[in-house]
Amino acid sequence: MLTLKLLRENPEFVINKLAIKHFDAREIVEKIIALDKNRRNLQTELDACLAEQKKKAAQIGSLMKEGKRAEAEAVKAEVASLKAKSSDLDKTSQENNAELDSLMVLLPNIPCDAVPEGKGAEDNVVVKMGNEIPDLGPDALPHWELAKKFDIIDFDLGVKLTGAGFPVYKGKGARLQRALINYFLDINTKAGYLEVEPPVMVNEASGFGTGQLPDKEGQMYHATVDNFYLVPTAEVPVTNIYRDVILGNNDFPVKMTAYTPCFRREAGSYGKDVRGLNRLHQFDKVEIVRLEKPENSYAALDEMIAHVEGIVNSLGLPYRILRLCGGDMSFTSAITYDFEVYSAAQGRWLEISSVSNFESYQANRLKLRYKDAEGKIQLAHTLNGSSLALPRVVAALLENNQKDGRIWIPEALRPYTGFDYIG
C-alpha cells in the first residue's frame, strides 16, 4: 500500500508512475487527498471538542462546591451537548477513514525507474540468455507424452481424484519431485536462507498483508467456513511471519526459504498452453523471501537474481531473464524479473520464476517496520522469488533431456534422485 504522505506530497508523481502500469489513478488519488484532508480536519475538530468537554467537566465539581448549582447544571448541559457532538464527529471520522482505507488498497505499487513501458508480455525486455537450446530432432515428444510413456505422471488419474490441473506423480516422477524440492532447499539454505515450513492455509489478514487480497481473491481457493485461503505461494505465509513486527537496525538482512504446495484457480486460462504441466491448480514451489533496509533492497534483488540463475544453470536448462514492462507487472511489485526455460519439444519458453522487489508497499500493509540507527521507525522493504516452481522445470527437464529412449537426469540432481535416467 502506498503511503498517505507520498500521495499528499506528490500526487502527480503517483498518477504518472501508475500510468506505466496502465492504471488510471487520477480519480482515486484526488478522492484520497480530499478524504485525507477531511480526516485531518475532523480529527482537529474532534480533539478540540474533547478538550473542551474535559475542561467543562472539570468545572462542574468546583461550581458544585461553591454552591453554584444552577451554573453547574448549565455546564452539565454544555458537556452533554459536547459529548453528543464528539460522538457524531467520531462516527463521521470513522466513516471517512473507512472510505479512505477502501480507496488506498485500490492503488497498485509504483513501478521503479528501471521498469520499461509496455502493454504486455511482448514488451518485456530480455536482459540475459544462457545455455544452448538442444536440437532434439523430429521425433521428440512433449512432456505429457513422455509422462505417459514412462508412467511417471498420471493426468487422467488426477482428474478422477480431483479434477483437471491436479496431476498424480508416480514412481520416478514422484521421486524427481522430491529430489528437486530437496535440491532447491539445500542450495537456498547454503546461501544463508533460513528454512521454514509454514501452514498452507492463511487467514484474511495474511492475504491482505502481501497484497493477494482484495486484488486476487478470485484466483485463490477459499475455505469459506473458517474463512481461510489456500496459499497461492509460500510468499504469503513466510512474509507474514513479520506482520506487525518492529525489527532492530541490526536485524537485517532477514532471509527465509520455504517449500509449499501452491494452489491457484487459474480462472480464465484456456487453450493449448495449459496442457500437461504448463498450468496447474496445485503445484510445488520453493520460495525465497528477504526483508531489507530500503538502501540495501536493490543490491539484495541483484543477489536474488544471481542466486536463481545459478540454480537454473546447475540444471543445464536453456534460460532467459526478462525485465517485465509496466503492463505485465503484478499489482504489488515495484520491479519484477522473470526467468523462463526453453521447452524444446513444445518449442516455447516457460516461466519458472519471478523475482520481485516490492519496496515498502507490502511492508506498509503488513506494518513491518524497523528502528533505524537514530531510533526512528521506518518501513522495511520486502522481496521474494521462486527458486524454483517445479512443474515447468520438470516439463523442460523431461523434454530437453530425452535421448536414446531415455530421459537423462542432470548430474547435479542424481545424488537426490538416486538414479541417472528414466526409462
Task: Indicate whether 392 belongs to any domain.
Answer: yes
Report residue 68's pLDDT band, with 50, 70 and 90 as the boundaries. Answer: confident
* Residues 155, 98 share a domain: no
Task: Indicate whether 111 belongs to any domain.
Answer: no
The range of the structural domain enclosing residue 46 comes to 4-104
CATH of the domain at 48: 1.10.287.40
**pLDDT at residue 272 tops 70:** no
* Residues 176, 80 share a domain: no
User: What pTM does this model have?
Assistant: 0.94
- Residue 216 has a pLDDT of 75
CATH of the domain at 178: 3.30.930.10
Q: Which is it for strands 254-263 and 194-195: parallel, antiparallel or unpaired?
A: parallel
Size of the chain, expressed as the number of residues it contains: 423
Task: Indicate whether 332 belongs to any domain.
Answer: yes
* Residues 99, 187 share a domain: no
Task: Indicate whether 281 belongs to any domain.
Answer: yes
* Residues 341, 253 share a domain: yes
Report residue 144's pLDDT band, with 50, 70 and 90 as the boundaries. Answer: very high
- SS3 for the chain is CCCHHHHHHCHHHHHHHHHCCCCCCHHHHHHHHHHHHHHHHHHHHHHHHHHHHHHHHHHHHHHHHCCCHHHHHHHHHHHHHHHHHHHHHHHHHHHHHHHHHHHHCCCCCCCCCCCCCCCCHHHCEEEEEECCCCCCCCCCCCHHHHHHHCCCEEHHHHHHHCCCCCCEECCHHHHHHHHHHHHHHHHHHHCCCEECCCCCEECHHHHHHHCCCCCCHHHCCEECCCCEEECCCCHHHHHHCCCCCEECCCCCCEEEEEEEEEECCCCCCCCHHHCCCCCCCEEEEEEEEEEECHHHHHHHHHHHHHHHHHHHHHCCCCEEEEECCHHHCCCCCCEEEEEEEEECCCCEEEEEEEEEECCCHHHHHHCCEEECCCCCEEECEEEEEEEEEHHHHHHHHHHHCEECCEEECCHHHHHHHCCCEEC
* Residues 168, 98 share a domain: no
**104, 139, 166 — which closes off a domain?**
104
* Residues 155, 96 share a domain: no
* Residues 62, 152 share a domain: no
**36, 71, 104 — which closes off a domain?**
104
**pLDDT at residue 3 tops 80:** yes
- Residue 67 has a pLDDT of 85
* Residues 25, 83 share a domain: yes
* Residues 207, 236 share a domain: yes
- Is 352:392 a contact under the CB 8 Å cutoff? yes
Task: Indicate whether 282 belongs to any domain.
Answer: yes
Report residue 87's pLDDT band, with 50, 70 and 90 as the boundaries. Answer: very high
- Residue 64 has a pLDDT of 84
* Residues 174, 44 share a domain: no
CA atoms within a 13 Å half-sphere pointing along the CA-CB vector of 364? 18
pLDDT more than 90, % of the chain = 92
Report residue 245's pLDDT band, with 50, 70 and 90 as the boundaries. Answer: very high
Q: How many domains does the chain fold into?
A: 2
Task: Indicate whether 109 belongs to any domain.
Answer: no
- Residue 368 has a pLDDT of 98
Task: Indicate whether 110 belongs to any domain.
Answer: no
- Tens of pLDDT, residue by residue over 169-226, are 999 999 999 999 999 999 999 999 999 999 999 999 999 999 999 877 789 999 999 9
Task: Indicate whether 280 belongs to any domain.
Answer: yes
Summary mean pLDDT of the chain: 96
* Residues 189, 74 share a domain: no
**104, 137, 152 — which closes off a domain?**
104
* Residues 133, 211 share a domain: yes
Q: What is the mean pLDDT of residues 257-276?
A: 82
